[in-house]
Amino acid sequence: MNRKITNEELHRLSAEEFRKARKFPLMLILDNVRSKHNVGSIFRSADAFRAAKILLCGITATPPDNEIHKSALGAENTVAWEYFPRTSEAVHYARSQGYLIAGIEQTEQSLSLETFRPEKGKKYAFVFGHEIKGVAQEIIDGCDFCLEIPQYGTKHSLNVAVSAGIILWEICRQIKAFSTAE
């Protein structure tokens, strides 16, 4: 029999332990994400993968908010976040903190997530865009590079919260591989 593990057996960090725990060198920048449910889902993924911080920009809603909370399930209270009126200000802030800026967007020179390898010791800030318009071109112009998630169906886009989860999982998986290889 394959018994489901209880929450107690998972030994989850408390909110205080999470705040003190070492984070992955990953920051998420939300460029005018309009859905509060997507914002909440991104907070939840950021908590699951212990991202350093989320930068909320422009029309992106901020906590406290009941709709964000419905999806975040409290992660909006554990993951560090900051609001910027303009995404360009958030990009500038992330860069000043030593982060490389990666737009998550389909561009002429985007790198496939399948082949991208984060460099050991580098910090990355990933920019996720508006649900319809994507990442603004002026923000793409200021990115160090762009990453694209390969897709094989008839649609050429993924939900922004799904994209954030995929990017976080893959980059964390690769960063963890650095520590196990040593």
Q: Based on the structure, what is the number of domains in the chain?
A: 1
pLDDT tens across 42-64, in order? 999 999 999 999 999 999 999 99
Is the pLDDT at 7 greater than 90? The verdict is no
Q: Is residue 6 part of a domain?
A: no
Q: Is residue 18 part of a domain?
A: no
pLDDT tens across 138-166, in order? 999 999 999 999 999 998 899 999 999 99
Q: Is residue 11 part of a domain?
A: no
What's the pLDDT at 180? 64
Nearest-angstrom CA–CA distance, 124 and 127: 10
Name every residue whose Cβ is closer than 8 Å to that of residue 57 and which is 6 or more positions away in sequence. Answer: 29, 30, 31, 32, 83, 84, 85, 86, 87, 89, 90
Residue 42: which CATH number? 3.40.1280.10
For residue 113, what are its two tokens? 């997530």
Q: Is residue 81 part of a domain?
A: yes
* 0.85 exceeded by pTM: yes
Q: Is residue 166 part of a domain?
A: yes
What range does the domain containing 133 cover?
29-149+157-181
